[in-house]
Amino acid sequence: MSNTVMRIRLAGAVVAGAVSVALLAACSSPAPSGEASAASCQPAQGKVTLQYWNTVPGMDQVVALWNKKNPNIQVETKNIANDQYGTLGNALKAGKAPELAQIGYDQLPSMRTQDAFVDVSACADAVAAKSKFVPWTWSQTSFGDTGVFAFPQDTGPMALFVRKDLFEKHKIEIPKTWDEYAADAQKLRDADPDLSITFFDPNNAEFFNGLLWQNNARMYGYSGDKWQVTVDSEQSRQVADYWQKLIDAKLVRTDLAHATPPMYAAYEKNQVATYIGAAWGYSMLRDNLPDQAGKWTIVPLPTWGTSAASGDWGGSTVAFMKGNPHLYESVKFNTWLNTDPEALALENKLGGLYPAATAGLALPALSEGVPYYGNEKIFDVFAESSKNIDTSFAWGPTQKTVNLALQDAMAKAVSGSGKLTDAISAAQAAALKSMQDQAIPAAAGN
């Protein structure tokens, strides 16, 4: 996710981003000496107050529900959407990290190597929680069952959000493939010089990673006791070339940053006709573009040829942070937050979260029509998307560095001083260097 919006649940039994036990075990480092021991999971004597930092809109209301029911385990929440990982990084350095924090799946391996988490596997309830979550999400939070460092919260299967009224106005069919999407981009521009089919944000590597994921562009693998870095692949370059052509033809906006006032203003002024997003985006548009209720529909992500593959963008966990003195209470709250039907329903309603918990898949809200989208059953689209995501996709242990390199090169491509294929090669080089700098065995893969 974008760090300005919450991550969403994935309604399928397995969804993008799954990493095998072998891969996860490989990316985890030996347990730091400060991690939980069997003696550390004891209930506190008296009232406890936990800190929970996150980026989810409305989470304060979810926490208020918990606090009302649990007077002896109170939780204080802090929204850190403006600088999620910078805020957490500073807190960790200062030894003032919260007990619990929202961490994206893609950041778990790199933060693990920085000793950011505490293992709560000494808590029986934490180990028992495994059965409550979609399998691939649990594998990521436990690093191949080497411990329990976080609980899954949500996932982000991708889809295409479409201003159906604009397509109808200009008598253009909603695209089903990326070739049709590019053709529609030209048709929309021909019909209205001020209308773009979408925007491309060079500062959003997570979004671009989701597009790579859809095209089976696996960024990492693990074999021969070392990481195989395959960021620069034929599939990745196909995606980069596609978007470069749209940028060069000026058929997509490149002056809009995701989830910012200018972005919403462009949509409000009918200057952008589609939004490529994830399940959590349904509430983002609903809450920021209320006047466009009934004008949007959600359809499957355009495909590469006849392939039904989709991608995942975002998805988060609630991690147990280093220095946490209240593991027992933290496990209690984390379990409720991410598995209790009442909590999951409220998180979906207020923050758009798409649960990683299997119980969340049975939420009534996910089988009903959504008023903002003309009472269409939009979550059926996301459920289908989740079934079509490559579950073998793996994140590397230095993903943050890779994303920064990707964004730097993407910005140059947008400004005309480079190409998106340069961003792919830059990310490949950054991945290899960052791993080698940390003595993580790695080599360029095929």
All domains of the chain, ordered by start, with CATH? 48-155+314-362 (3.40.190.10), 158-313+392-444 (3.40.190.10)
Alpha-carbon span 83 to 87, nearest angstrom: 6
Q: Which regions in the chain score pLDDT beneath 70? A: 1-39, 446
Strands 442-444 and 226-229: parallel
Count of beta carbons in the 10 Å neighbourhood of residue 291: 7
Alpha-carbon span 176 to 378, nearest angstrom: 17
Burial class of residue 433 (count of CB atoms within 10 Å of its CB; 0-12, 13-18, 19+): middle
Question: Which residues pair with residue 223 across a beta bridge?
Answer: 226
Q: What's residue 221's pLDDT?
A: 85
Sequence length of the chain is 446
Q: What's residue 114's pLDDT?
A: 86
Alpha-carbon span 125 to 82, nearest angstrom: 33
Question: Could you tell me which of 162, 206, 398, 396 has the C-alpha nearest to residue 311?
Answer: 206
The DSSP letter of residue 117 is B
Burial class of residue 353 (count of CB atoms within 10 Å of its CB; 0-12, 13-18, 19+): buried
Count of beta carbons in the 10 Å neighbourhood of residue 174: 16
Q: Which helix (H) or strand (E) holds 51?
A: strand 48-54
What pTM, to 2 d.p., does this model score?
0.82
Distances (CA, A) of 391 to 10, 84, 214, 254, 403: 12, 26, 11, 31, 20
What is the SS3 assignment for 163? strand
Beta strands in 266-407 (DSSP E): 274-278, 296-299, 312-320
Question: Could you tell me which of 267, 240, 242 has the C-alpha nearest to residue 253?
Answer: 267
Q: Are 397 and 110 in contact (CB under 8 A)?
A: yes
Question: Could you tell me which of 435, 445, 437, 426 has the C-alpha nearest to residue 399?
Answer: 435
Q: What's residue 194's pLDDT?
A: 97
What is the SS3 assignment for 356? coil
Phi and psi at 170, nearest 5°, equal -100, 10
Q: Are 195 and 271 in contact (CB under 8 A)?
A: yes
Q: What's residue 136's pLDDT?
A: 77
Q: Are 217 and 242 in contact (CB under 8 A)?
A: no
Strands 73-79 and 48-54: parallel
**One-letter amino acid identity for 234?**
E
Q: Are 228 and 31 in contact (CB under 8 A)?
A: no
Alpha-carbon span 130 to 311, nearest angstrom: 24
The residue whose two tokens read 């800190």 is 51
Question: Could you tell me which of 373, 221, 202, 358 has the C-alpha nearest to residue 285?
Answer: 373
* DSSP per position, 380-440: HHHHHHHHTB-TT----TTHHHHHHHHHHHHHHHHHTSS-HHHHHHHHHHHHHHHHHHTT-
Structure-block tokens of residue 344: 């999951």
Q: What's residue 400's pLDDT?
A: 86
